[in-house]
Amino acid sequence: MDRLKFIQNWLIEVILKEMKNTTKNRSMSLEEELIHSIGCCRLAQVLAAKRNLDTEIGGIIGTVHDYGRIITGEKESHAEKGAEPLLKFLKETGLFSEIEINTIVEAVANHSSKEKVQKPYDELIKDVDVLDNYFSGKIRDKEEYKRRLKNTLEELNLNYWL
């Protein structure tokens, strides 16, 4: 089984377990979390290819970037809250190098800092997150979101969507 499929199957198991056992008030339904994860995975693969980044790592980051919100049910600080348990899980799989683990975990931890320009995979997931939200009808008023959306749509030659 390839690593992306392994991670996707794992996240589905996490979501199904949360569906059975949760009494949390969630900022986003688990069904919406799954749809967003899948959308971000595929958009990350496309944008990673466009940016000459590893499409598998990009897809994995897209899949797991909201892991913190999935396990806590909370939007507040979810990027940071997901980083440590994700780090532990990725190490336990034995499927990833230390560099890959650090890349994935840093991108997840930094993806909510849309106002900052950081490393390539951090920027990838920030742009993908904004793009998936846009195509899902969730348009944010913050300037950093608008700027990222405009730049990413232009990068993909989708100017007519603006």
Confidence of residue 81 (pLDDT cuts 50, 70, 90): confident
What pLDDT is stored for residue 1 in this prediction?
57
Residue 162 scores a pLDDT above 60 = no
Q: In the structure, how many helices (H) and strands (E) does the chain have?
A: 8, 0
Average pLDDT of the segment spanning 138-162: 87
* CATH number, domain containing residue 132: 1.10.3210.10
What pLDDT is stored for residue 160 in this prediction?
67
The DSSP H or E segment spanning 33 is helix 30-50
Q: Nearest CA to 115 among 106, 126, 104?
A: 126
Split into its structural domains, the chain has a count of 1
The DSSP H or E segment spanning 104 is helix 98-110
Q: HSE of 63 in the Cβ direction (CA atoms, 13 Å)?
A: 21
Q: Nearest CA to 51 among 120, 136, 154, 127?
A: 120
Record the pTM: 0.94
Confidence of residue 118 (pLDDT cuts 50, 70, 90): very high
Average pLDDT of the segment spanning 25-35: 90
* Containing structural domain, residue 149: 3-161
What pLDDT is stored for residue 79 in this prediction?
83
Residue 104 scores a pLDDT above 60 = yes
Confidence of residue 161 (pLDDT cuts 50, 70, 90): low
What pLDDT is stored for residue 95 in this prediction?
98
Average pLDDT of the segment spanning 106-124: 93
In angstroms, rounded to a whole number, what is the distance separating the alpha carbons of residues 115 and 97?
29
Average pLDDT of the segment spanning 15-20: 91
